[in-house]
Structure 1
Amino acid sequence: MVFFQLVIDCAAPDRLARFWADGLGYELEEPPGHFDTWREYWQSIGVPEEELGDGDCADSIVDPEGAGPRIWFQQVPEGKVVKNRFHLDIKVGGKREEVPLATRRARVDAKVEQLVRAGASVVRVLAEPGVDHYAVAMTDPEGNEFDVV
């Protein structure tokens, strides 16, 4: 088995960590062991001060059930300039075989409203008449694309 974490480059790790924790039902990850802050932890393992950025902020989230990957928000100096080549689908609608389209649509729309209140933006609605599919393309507060399905 291979274990992995998802790393998202960003300008404001604390803001994105909080946004995605709320959006995914994750929790902010506490610093390891006896450390009060992540800055203390990173300094203890020798990370240079100039690489710490906002080292006291929340910069990683974890699935409280332990099923999903850890997500680390790595502060970088450059901004996002092109479309993601990789994106998340937040699946809240339910399985097509089990849940009617109207119910899936209502679930997706409710999640979209929550995420907009948290700072996301709607890009477009992905729906066509006669097609049993409904999703909403969105961007997080730093412009990273994702879909709510």
Structure 2
Amino acid sequence: MASIKKIQVTFDCEEPERVAEFWCEVLGYERNGSGCIDPSGIGPRLYFQRVPENKVVKNRLHIDVRVGTGLVGEERVAALESECARLIALGAVRVRLLRADGYNESCLVMQDVEGNEFCLD
């Protein structure tokens, strides 16, 4: 049987310190050099590495920030909108609200301070 591996999520970015600070605030993580760590030790480490090129296309992988777990309908949308407002104050950009469609609950698509897509879910 394979053992469970810990993972690290790595972001290519222009300003690692700025992006790390944003994600630490979003997730309640603590700074650890060029990264962020979950103080509980449960979540993955996030690492931010400087790269010379700019972001040019949509991410193929993104983070879902779970703020609406267990909520449905307008109660869920209200929780997403509330967190969206907090994150906009940190420099995030709201992209669009995707309403529940019978298969998936509502989620809110956003971008971090360097344009990396993520969802409030």
TM-score by length of 1: 0.73
Please tell me whether residue 84 in structure 1 is matched to residue 56 in structure 2. Answer: no
Other-structure match for 2:78: 106
Gaps of 5+ in 1: 30-57
| Alpha-carbon distance between aligned partners in 2 of 1:5 and 1:119, rounded to the nearest angstrom | 24
CA-CA distance at 1:16 after TM superposition: 0.5
**Number of equivalences:** 118
CA-CA distance at 1:102 after TM superposition: 2.4
Q: Which portions of structure 1, spanning 4 or more consecutive aligned residues, are displaced by more than 6 angstroms?
A: 129-132
Please tell me whether residue 7 in structure 1 is matched to residue 10 in structure 2. Answer: yes
Query: Counterpart amino acid of 1:94?
Result: T
Structure 1 pair 132/75, CA: closer, same or farther in 2 (3 Å)? closer
For 1:143, which of 87, 100, 115 is the aligned residue?
115
What SS is found at the alignment partner of 2:86?
helix
**Aligned pairs (5 A) from 1:16-55:** 16-29=19-32
What SS is found at the alignment partner of 1:74?
strand
Gaps of 5+ in 2: none
Structure 1 pair 129/64, CA: closer, same or farther in 2 (3 Å)? same
**Aligned-residue CA RMSD (Å):** 1.7
Please tell me whether residue 73 in structure 1 is matched to residue 45 in structure 2. Answer: no
Other-structure match for 1:37: none
TM-score by length of 2: 0.89
Other-structure match for 1:116: 88
| Alpha-carbon distance between aligned partners in 1 of 2:43 and 2:100, rounded to the nearest angstrom | 31
Q: Which has the larger radius of gyration?
A: 1
